[in-house]
Structure formats: structure tokens, C-alpha cells
């Protein structure tokens, strides 16, 4: 059963990656000059005739577009993402350096958001018509209306320019003088901007989901039979967290989109900032690589969320509708 | 009662913002692109209500003009995505079966790719002006609309009056237009409102990154792009006000959208 289900999700992920790869390949085709130049950038002039010949053969540049795509995809899967125009280094290497920063930012923010929204949502959802209940609705609409990067600008003005207690940009270096503390200091502003602008809306979704479950017949029956409030609460939260997880899965893509902007505002050297830099400097191989990596990140994250949902939801385990 | 008053407030706030920006030429004290090198970075005063920027341009005038650009781009893109969404969702929902399955699988895949990434790709190849921006945001923003239209169509298709219409031989076009689409309007309206807020977010974000609307045209996002550097030398007014405008606009739209989501709160007067 689980094998079939995982297979289905994986096929979906592969379709997504295929579309992302079309997008990436499209950049190569649309970039000025011939694709070999697009791929090797500034280094293209230094290539000798035999090397050019080799590239042409490797990428099937003398063949129809469909075959070119297959050849390019083959190289990409092998990890050959070309050479960056500006840095003259393999794109793969640059991305590998940047990836931990993005994962750190994503991990920390997602963890805090899930933790915070779970707590807020449960409190507000279980106490219907309390101040928590009404307050959270307004709070979530208000915070989700703030453009994250604008909040970032305000934070920079307050904490970096006026108070001077936090660095305005950069991502710190664990191996540097500051060590781990430096890294955390750099992480604080970008992470808190993302958390503040997202936690409310997720909490609200859980709150509404809990309120819906709370009104269900099975809860009423359990209460009438004197089941302990704590186990009722556990049951409700468990059932309510399935649509909540689904909501997280649905918003993951825009979450990655949002972190691109926050990363570049704070010069947090992750994949997002890299993508924007690649667009601004028209560094095509770098852009292609970072798009592919973002696509892979999204697909993997969604797959993990799916697995958690599978573990929680018995309907899925029993092969129910999805 | 309290809720209705609050809703009325958000309607008027949004109305005021739209009114001020649409008639920006009347209300702005200076020309939005008029430079004055003697008065760069001057703080808010009676001459310049919201101060001036790094080229001595009046922030208030640029705020109104920029709002017009931002709102026009958002409106244009929303109209486009509304159209695509209705057509795509309508076809998928009306025909059902294999067509529906294939179209929805494709939609699910597309929804997984961050819209920002798709727009970045096209921006790097054809960096255009205002309208190409609206086109790009519209082309990436129709997915949720399509989903809603489809589920509304599927729900309505099972209703008795549609079955009846089919039985009586009502032309397909008439059923699609007069019955299915017309009854989906409330749901489409809500999703379009949220889409509008999303489009503003998108334009502002892209311009803020310096890859949206060309810097020669003022927009709320573009103003924030320069504010990044200005804030470091302490010129807070350049960044503060465009952000507040974006915040208030989106806030008003979100509150109105939330009210429309719950039918019992919908009526303002009665």
C-alpha cells in the first residue's frame, strides 16, 4: 500500500521537476549567443576548437531541440550545471556552498512557525469566543498583510541603524571570529521577519480547523461520555492538523518565493539571494542551476510533508481518497 | 453591527486610496519626477509633507503616482488571470473525466513552482515595462482561480436546475454562461480579491528586487528599492510611507475578502 502511494507522489514530483527543467532549458535557448556560450559564458572564448567540438557533441547542439534537451538533462542529472559567467567557477560548487545557509534559514523559520502557530492556533481554537479566538483572526490578517521585505527595512532601521545591535546584512561565518554567536546574530533579523509575517496566518488556519472539529458529533459524544478533556483535546488537534499540514504543503512554494526576497534584502548568502544576483547580472548558467535547486528543494519538502500526513492520517494509510 | 461598521471603514479606506492614486495629478503638489538637487534627503516638512528622496523628488507626489502604477499593474494582471482561470477551470470542470484529470494534474504541478521563479526567468530574458510586468503576473496568477471555478462548476453541474436545463435542450453556451458561471460569481469574486492583493505583493516584491518595473517609472516597489540604501543613512521617510500604503491597501482588501467569505457578514446596509 505505502509503496503504491509513495510511487504516486514521486511521479508527481518528477513531473514538477520536468516542468522546472523545461523552464531552465528555455533560459539556455533564449539566452543571447549560442547555447555553448550560454553555458560556459566568459570562458567560451578561451575554448579551443576541439573543446568546442566536444561541447557540441556532449550537448548534441547539432541535433534537433528535443535531442539537445535530453543531452542537457543528462548532463544536469550528472551534476554538471555549467560554469558561472561572473565567478568562473562551476555552478554546482557555488550552489553547494550556499545551500546550507538556505536550509538553515528555512529550517529555523519553518520550525518556529509550526511551533508558534500550533500553540496559538490550539489555544485560540479550543477557547471559542475568547479574546484569543477573536484576537488571532485580526492578528493573522494584519501580520499577513505586511510586506516581509518592508518589515525587514524597518528592522534594519531600528536594530542596525538606530540601535546598532544587529548586523544589517550578511550571513555570518561559523568558522570566523564570531563563531556560532555571529551566525545567530546574522540569522535573527531575516528569520524573525519571515516568522512574524507567517505565523499568524498558519495559526489561524489551525484555529478554524480546530473549531470545526470541536463542533463535530464525535466530540460531543465523547464529552457526554465523560472522556477526559485532555484526550478530547489531543484527538481534536490530531484530526485538525491534517488540513493544517495540507495548508502548509500548499503554501510551501510561495514560502520559498518569499524567502528569496528576504534573503536578498539581508544579503543572506543562500540560494534565494543567488537567484536574484543571477537575474540582475544575467548570469544564465547560475540562474538555471539555482532554479533547478529551488525546484528540487520544494519537491523534497512537499514529499516530507506528505509523509508526515501519511503517518498521521489513517484514511490515507487505508488507501482512502486523497 | 460592529462588524458592519468595521467593514464600511475598510471599504472607504480602499476607496480613498484608489481615489487619491487615480487622480494623483490633481492632488500631488509636485511633479513625481521633478528633481531638486538643493533639497535632497530633506525630512518631512510643510514644503514636502513626506520629505524628499536622493534626487530631491517629493515623496508624497511619488507615492500617489507610484500607487497608480502599482494598482494599474495589479488590476491588469488580475483581469488577465481571471480570464485564464475561468476558461481553464471551466473547461476542466464542465467536461470532467480524463480531460479534468489531466488538466488538474498539470495545475497541481504548476502550483508547486514558486511564481516568483517563473517571473524571474522571463524577466531576465525580456525585461519590459509596466505592461509586460502585468502580463507576467497575470500569466502566473490564474491557478487558484481555475481551481475554484472548476470546483464550483462540478458542484453546480449536479444541481437539479442544471440537469433540468440540459434536459430541456438549453444551448451549451447558455448553460455555461447563464447558469454555471453566473452562480459561481460570489466564489470567483472572493478569490479575485485575494488575487489582487497577491498581485500587488508580487509587483512590489519584484520592483523591490530591482527586476520589476523599470526604475524610471515610480511604483511603490521601486520606491522601496531605493529606500534600502537610504535607510542606512537614516532617511526613514523614504521607506516608511510606501510600505504603509502597501500595508493599508492589502489590509483593506484582506478584510473585505474575509467578510465576503462569510455570507452572513456580507451585507453592509440593512
Tens of pLDDT, residue by residue over A2-20, are 777 788 888 888 888 888 8
Low-confidence ranges of chain A (pLDDT < 70): 1, 32-47, 58-62, 173-178, 318-322
A142/B121 Cβ within 8 A: no
The residue with cell 543571477 is A278
Residue B178 distance to chain A (closest CA, Å): 32
Q: For residue B226, what are the CA distances in angstroms to B28, B210, B223?
A: 21, 9, 6
In terms of Cβ atoms closer than 10 Å to its own Cβ (0-12, 13-18, 19+), residue B181 is middle
Element of type H or E holding A210? helix A179-214
Q: Which pLDDT tens digit goes with each residue over A81-112? A: 777 777 778 888 899 888 999 999 999 999 99
Name the one residue in this structure whose C-alpha cell is 516597489. Answer: B221
Question: How many residues can be counted in chain B?
Answer: 270
Nearest residue of B to residue A255, measured between CA atoms: B114
Residue identified by cell 520629505 is B51
On whether the CB atoms of residues B129 and B151 are closer than 8 A, the answer is: no
Closest partner residue to B124 among A153, A250, A282, by Cβ? A282
Q: Which residue of A has its CA nearest to B211?
A: A280
Judged by CB atoms closer than 8 Å, whether chains meet at B205 and A149 is answered as yes
Query: How far does the CA of residue A27 sit from the closest CA of chain B (Å)?
Result: 7
Of B113, B121, B201, the CB nearest to A253: B113
Q: Which of B115, B116, B224, B234 to mutate to test the interface with A (most CBs of A within 10 A)?
A: B116
3-state secondary structure of B144: helix
pLDDT tens sequence across A210-240:
988 888 898 889 988 988 888 888 889 888 8
Grouped pLDDT means (10 residues each) for chain B, 270 residues: 78 92 81 75 74 79 89 94 94 89 89 88 79 90 92 88 85 84 89 93 90 84 85 81 92 90 52
Interchain CB distance below 8 Å, A20 and B113: yes
Contact A276 B255 (CB under 8 A): no
User: Can you tell me whether residue B52 is helix, strand or coil?
Assistant: strand
Per-residue confidence (pLDDT) for residue A38, from 0 to 100: 59
Cα gap A109→A102, rounded to integer Å: 11
Parse chain A into domains and list their residue ranges: 2-77, 98-317
Tell me, what's the pLDDT at A60? 66
Q: What is the mean pLDDT of chain B?
A: 85
A318's grid cell: 487505508
Task: Assign a CATH topology to domain A98-317.
Answer: MetI-like fold (1.10.3720)
Query: Residue B113 and residue A295: Cβ atoms within 8 Å?
Result: yes
Cβ contact, residue pair A15, B109, below 8 Å = yes
- Chain B residues with beta carbon closer than 8 angstroms to that of A137: 258
Residues of chain B positioned with their CB less than 8 A from the CB of A266: none
Chain B residues with CB under 8 Å of A254 CB are: 114-116
| Alpha-carbon distances, residue B214 vs A32, A97, B78, B203 (angstroms) | 21, 32, 20, 11
User: Do A141 and B255 make contact, defined as CB atoms within 8 angstroms?
Assistant: yes
Share of chain A above pLDDT 90, in %: 20
Decide: B113 and A298 in contact? Cβ < 8 Å: yes
State which residue of chain B sits closest to A16, comparing Cα positions.
B109
Confidence at residue A40, expressed as pLDDT on a 0 to 100 scale? 63
Q: Give me the pLDDT at residue A175, please.
A: 61
Cell numbers at B126, concatenated: 525580456
Q: How far is CA B202 from the centre of its chain?
A: 8
| Gap between the Cα atoms of A96 and A89, Å rounded | 12
The angle formed by the CA atoms of residues A184, A106 and A25, to the nearest 5 degrees, is: 130
What is d(CA A124, CA A126) in angstroms, rounded to the nearest whole number?
A: 6
Our CA dihedral for B9, B14, B20, B21, rounded to 10 degrees, sits at 170
Residue-range domains of chain B with CATH: 56-266 (1.10.3720.10)
- pLDDT for the residue numbered B98: 92
pLDDT at B265: 46
Q: By the 8 A CB rule, do B131 and B162 touch?
A: no
Count chain A–chain B contacts defined by CB atoms under 8 A.
126
**Euclidean distance between CA atoms B172 and B174, whole angstroms:** 5
Give the predicted TM-score (pTM) of the model: 0.87
Q: Grid coordinates representing B175?
A: 448553460
- pLDDT recorded at residue A103: 92
A90 phi and psi, to 5 degrees? -60, 135
Residue A68: per-residue pLDDT:
79
Amino acid at each position: 500500500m505505502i509503496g503504491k502511494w509513495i510511487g504516486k507522489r514521486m511521479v508527481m514530483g518528477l513531473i514538477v521537476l520536468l516542468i522546472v527543467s523545461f523552464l531552465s532549458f528555455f533560459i539556455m535557448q533564449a539566452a543571447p549567443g549560442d547555447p555553448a556560450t550560454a553555458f560556459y559564458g566568459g570562458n567560451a572564448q578561451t575554448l579551443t576548437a576541439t573543446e568546442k567540438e566536444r561541447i557540441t557533441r556532449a550537448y548534441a547542439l547539432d541535433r534537433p531541440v528535443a535531442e539537445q534537451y535530453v543531452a542537457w538533462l543528462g548532463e544536469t542529472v550528472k551534476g554538471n550545471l555549467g560554469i558561472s559567467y561572473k565567478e568562473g567557477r562551476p555552478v554546482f560548487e557555488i550552489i553547494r556552498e550556499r545551500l546550507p545557509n538556505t536550509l538553515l534559514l528555512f529550517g529555523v523559520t519553518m520550525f518556529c512557525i509550526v511551533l508558534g502557530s500550533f500553540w496559538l492556533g490550539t489555544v485560540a481554537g479550543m477557547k471559542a469566543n475568547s479574546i484569543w479566538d477573536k484576537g488571532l483572526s485580526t492578528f493573522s490578517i494584519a501580520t499577513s498583510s505586511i510586506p516581509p521585505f518592508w518589515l525587514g527595512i524597518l528592522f534594519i532601521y531600528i536594530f542596525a541603524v538606530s540601535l546598532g545591535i544587529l548586523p544589517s546584512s550578511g550571513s555570518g561565518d561559523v568558522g570566523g571570529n564570531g563563531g556560532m554567536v555571529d551566525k545567530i546574530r546574522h540569522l535573527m533579523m531575516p528569520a524573525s521577519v519571515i516568522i512574524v509575517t507567517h505565523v499568524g496566518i498558519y495559526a489561524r488556519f489551525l484555529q478554524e480547523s480546530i473549531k470545526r472539529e470541536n463542533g463535530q458529533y464525535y466530540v460531543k459524544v465523547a464529552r457526554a461520555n465523560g472522556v477526559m478533556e485532555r484526550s478530547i483535546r489531543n484527538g481534536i488537534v490530531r484530526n485538525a492538523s491534517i488540513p493544517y499540514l495540507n495548508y502548509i504543503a500548499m503554501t510551501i512554494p510561495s514560502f520559498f518565493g518569499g524567502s528569496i526576497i528576504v534573503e536578498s534584502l539581508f544579503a543572506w548568502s543562500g540560494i534565494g539571494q543567488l537567484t536574484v544576483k543571477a537575474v540582475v547580472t544575467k548570469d544564465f548558467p547560475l540562474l538555471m542551476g539555482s532554479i533547478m535547486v529551488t525546484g528540487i528543494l520544494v519537491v523534497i519538502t512537499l514529499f516530507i510533508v506528505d509523509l508526515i500526513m501519511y503517518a498521521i492520517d489513517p484514511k490515507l494509510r487505508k488507501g482512502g481518497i486523497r | 453591527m460592529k462588524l458592519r461598521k468595521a467593514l464600511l471603514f475598510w471599504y472607504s479606506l480602499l476607496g480613498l486610496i484608489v481615489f487619491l492614486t487615480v487622480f494623483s495629478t490633481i492632488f500631488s503638489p509636485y511633479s513625481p519626477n521633478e528633481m531638486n538637487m538643493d533639497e535632497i534627503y530633506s525630512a518631512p516638512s510643510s514644503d514636502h509633507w513626506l520629505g524628499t528622496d536622493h534626487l530631491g523628488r517629493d515623496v508624497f507626489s511619488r507615492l500617489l503616482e507610484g500607487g497608480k502604477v502599482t494598482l494599474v499593474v495589479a488590476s491588469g494582471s488580475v483581469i488577465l488571470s481571471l480570464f485564464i482561470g475561468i476558461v481553464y477551470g471551466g473547461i476542466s470542470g464542465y467536461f470532467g473525466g480524463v480531460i479534468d484529470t489531466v488538466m488538474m494534474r498539470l495545475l497541481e504541478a504548476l502550483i508547486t513552482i514558486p511564481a516568483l521563479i517563473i517571473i524571474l526567468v522571463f524577466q531576465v530574458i525580456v525585461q519590459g515595462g509596466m505592461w509586460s510586468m502585468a502580463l507576467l503576473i497575470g500569466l502566473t496568477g490564474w491557478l487558484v482561480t481555475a481551481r475554484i471555478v472548476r470546483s464550483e462548476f462540478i458542484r453546480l453541474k449536479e444541481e437539479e436546475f442544471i440537469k433540468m436545463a440540459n434536459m430541456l435542450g438549453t444551448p451549451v453556451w447558455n448553460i455555461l454562461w447563464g447558469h454555471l458561471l453566473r452562480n459561481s460569481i460570489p466564489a470567483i469574486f472572493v478569490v479575485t480579491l485575494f488575487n489582487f492583493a497577491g498581485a500587488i505583493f508580487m509587483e512590489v516584491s519584484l520592483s523591490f528586487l530591482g527586476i520589476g518595473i523599470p526604475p524610471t517609472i515610480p511604483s511603490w516597489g521601486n520606491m522601496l528599492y531605493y529606500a534600502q540604501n537610504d535607510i542606512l543613512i537614516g532617511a526613514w521617510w523614504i521607506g516608511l510611507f510606501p510600505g504603509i500604503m502597501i500595508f493599508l491597501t492589502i489590509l483593506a482588501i484582506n478584510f473585505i475578502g474575509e467578510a465576503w467569505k462569510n455570507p452572513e457578514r456580507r451585507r453592509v446596509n440593512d
